[in-house]
Amino acid sequence: MAQEKLFELHSLDLTLLDLDRQTAAQKKRLVTHRENTLLRQKRRDQLKDQHKTLQVEVKQLELSIEQAKQRKSALGHKVERVINVRELEALTKEITGLGVEIEAREETLLGLYERSEKLDQELASLEADLQRRGGELSRLEVDVAAQVKLLAETAATARQARTLVEAQVEPALLARYSRARTKYEGAVLFAIRDNSCEGCGLSAPGYEWNRIRQNPGNVYDCSNCGRLLVYVGEAL
């Protein structure tokens, strides 16, 4: 019967559609892996820049602390030789201020050391992850290539079968089927027993439904969505 070949053709088209989706999904695995790796590489580079800037800050702060300590030490030696009370008070005040300043800078430096340590740990973790992902990518490329090749071979076989089946479908019926396929990506042909299109879920008018039931096996266009319907229930 004409509809049998049409159903066979439709099944092959759905198979090919599924194979295309599987192929796209396999390729997406590679794309996703590469995109995620790129994000990690960018993060690593950002951390390296932050670490470099932080090291400059650390060196500058260490130098300023050392200079302040040297200044404080020099003032301490000077105090030992000062006789003038006013000058002694001024030196003592400056030494005290330097002590407070040194303490504050050392506390800031400790915070920079902690930040640097955290950056080192995160960088080490990212480097290890990137190295692991590099090995994963090689294996993934091989696996995806094998899967895509297998899917392509399966699709080629399905296309050959489709060509043979298509030639056995009546031209007028094939044209209706092709028209429905241009409108919808998924299933466009349904076997029905009840007055409901499985494509759009709507029912045909009563008079049309009666006409459909009078001719089981015939192919009808859904008056609502244009998909094809075949009534497989008992004749009215």
Q: Which of 142, 124, 133, 145 is nearest to 35 (CA)?
A: 133
- In CATH, what class is 18-166? mainly alpha
pTM of structure: 0.75
Q: Which of 19, 5, 7, 3 is nearest to 157 (CA)?
A: 19
CA distance 63 to 163: 81
Q: Exposure of 58 by Cβ count < 10 A (0-12 exposed, 13-18 middle, 19+ buried)?
A: middle
CA distance 90 to 98: 12
CA distance 72 to 97: 9
| Confidence at residue 235, expressed as pLDDT on a 0 to 100 scale | 67
Structural domain spans, the chain: 18-166, 171-231
Q: Which tens digits make up the pLDDT trace of 142-173?
A: 999 999 999 999 999 999 999 999 999 999 99
User: Which regions in the chain score pLDDT beneath 70?
Assistant: 1-2, 235-236
Number of H helices, E strands in the chain: 4, 3
Strand partners, 190: 229
CA distance 110 to 97: 20
Q: Which of 228, 215, 164 is nearest to 7 (CA)?
A: 228
